[in-house]
Amino acid sequence: MNGKQKMRHVLDILADMFPDAHCELIHSNPFELTIAVLLSAQCTDETVNKVTVNLFQKYKSPADYLAVPLEELEGDIRRIGLFRSKASNIQKLCRIVIDKYDGDVPNTHEGLVELPGVGRKTANVVMSNAFGVPAIAVDTHVDRVSKRLGFAKQDDNVLEVEHKLMKLVPREEWTLTHHRLIFFGRYHCKAQNPQCAVCPLIELCKEGKKRMKVTEKTKAKLKTKLT
């Protein structure tokens, strides 16, 4: 199989495994999604959702975040990693959104990445989920799975991984592929203890096949000792 044929095979398998893959950050508008993705850096979506359930009740607009002292906002997101820098970025972001975009989150990639705390990944997530523009956001799960399946090299940075995936995945499937790769990495091909023994993509994964060989050798040694 060439690269695109291999990717097509993977996409079809992932579609069967995770037909309902979606963005798990709870939000009701582009602004809330931007805040949620900003908070999710080095933090799980589950933890973010536990914080934003109250945060989004208290803060409805950019002006609301600027109406409280920074220390109060820090307290509201204290359960999130790097909460101090994230609180500062949220207030700076809200000031720009009000002054430059009349209170609305910009609907362009260029506008989003100019906001404090918003990098390329966050911008891709917002563009694809809030504004319906196809994009592949490379988070830790997408990066790991792409490298394990051989679509990217181990030393590729996230931008290189993104560009390689964009070439292999049909544009109309970018957003859904992003979600399915995340689900695959989060619930199946985990960083620790991936489910290699029951993985339908094991033949494409050098790391997985190596892991399974080690497992078989360990079992054989154990069997020998027991007998």
Which residues are known catalytic residues?
A: 121, 139
Degrees (nearest 5) of the Cα angle 179, 88, 122? 15
Burial class of residue 205, CB neighbours in 10 A (0-12, 13-18, 19+): buried
Spatial distance between the Cα atoms of 204 and 210, rounded to a whole number of angstroms: 11
Distance set, CA 64 to CA 33, 60, 73, 187 (Å): 16, 6, 10, 36
CA of residue 138 relative to chain centroid, distance: 6
Residue 191: closest CA among 150, 151, 145, 224: 145
Residue type, 16: D
Distance set, CA 171 to CA 60, 131, 134 (Å): 34, 15, 7
Distance set, CA 153 to CA 60, 113, 176, 193, 208 (Å): 42, 26, 23, 21, 16
Spatial distance between the Cα atoms of 32 and 159, rounded to a whole number of angstroms: 25
